Every structure is written in C-alpha cells, then in structure tokens.
C-alpha cells in the first residue's frame, strides 16, 4: 500500500499580482511557476512551455487557456493539458490556495 504524497504549501504572490493580465510568474521551492486567475479561481502550472522553452507567464490568457508567446500553442491552466499545436506534452500543474493574503502553491515532498 502506498501513501499519498504530502503537499508542502509555498507562499508566492498576492492575488493582486494577477489583476492586470490574469497571469504572473512566481517562484516556489526554486521552480518557476505561472499563477493564473480564471473566474475568481486560482491555478498554477510550471512556467516553462514544454514545446518551445518559453515563459508561459509572458503569454496571453484567454479564459482557461494560456497561449505560449513563442509559437502560440495553448495549454489548459486548470489541468496543464496541451490544447493547440504545436504543444503536445502537458505542463505540470499544481494546486493553489489563498491563505493570509498570499497564493500558496502545493508542492510534493
């Protein structure tokens, strides 16, 4: 029997950092993450596009899709799943919670 991984919650940015574009870059345990707000809910993925090594936080957020600024492929920010070519490999996604005025990203370990 295996145990479920324990999450370590890492404080990142205040929600106001997402106000202008709906997306912002942060660091969580040394990993660059992109934080998103979609209809009042918060999400996080790894910031690096799996196709072109571009920063997703520099991309355009349209609803629940983030468009990579390099080749315009898209990912679903809720799941990390690739949606449009040339993206074909999912980006890692992380749980997010709002606590003490900051967005916290859940990291395994």
Q: What is the pLDDT of residues 64-85, one digit of tens each?
A: 999 999 999 999 999 999 999 9
Residue 90 CB neighbour total at 10 angstroms = 15
Element holding 35 (H helix, E strand): strand 31-38
How far out from the chain centre does Cα 100 lie?
Answer: 20
CATH numeric code, 17-108:
2.102.10.10
| Domain spans in the chain, listed from the N-terminal domain onward | 17-108
Q: What is the pLDDT of residues 33-61, one digit of tens each?
A: 999 999 999 999 999 999 888 999 999 99
């Amino acid at each position: 029997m295996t145990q479920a991984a324990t999450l370590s919650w890492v404080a990142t940015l205040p929600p106001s950092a997402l106000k202008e574009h709906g997306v912002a870059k942060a660091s969580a345990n040394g990993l660059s993450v992109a934080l998103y707000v979609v209809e009042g809910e918060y999400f996080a993925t790894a910031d690096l596009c799996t196709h072109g090594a571009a920063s997703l936080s520099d991309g355009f957020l349209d609803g629940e899709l983030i468009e990579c600024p390099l080749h315009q492929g898209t990912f679903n920010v809720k799941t990390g799943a690739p949606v449009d070519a040339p993206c074909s490999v999912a980006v890692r996604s992380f749980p997010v919670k709002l606590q003490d005025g900051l967005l916290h990203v859940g990291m395994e370990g």
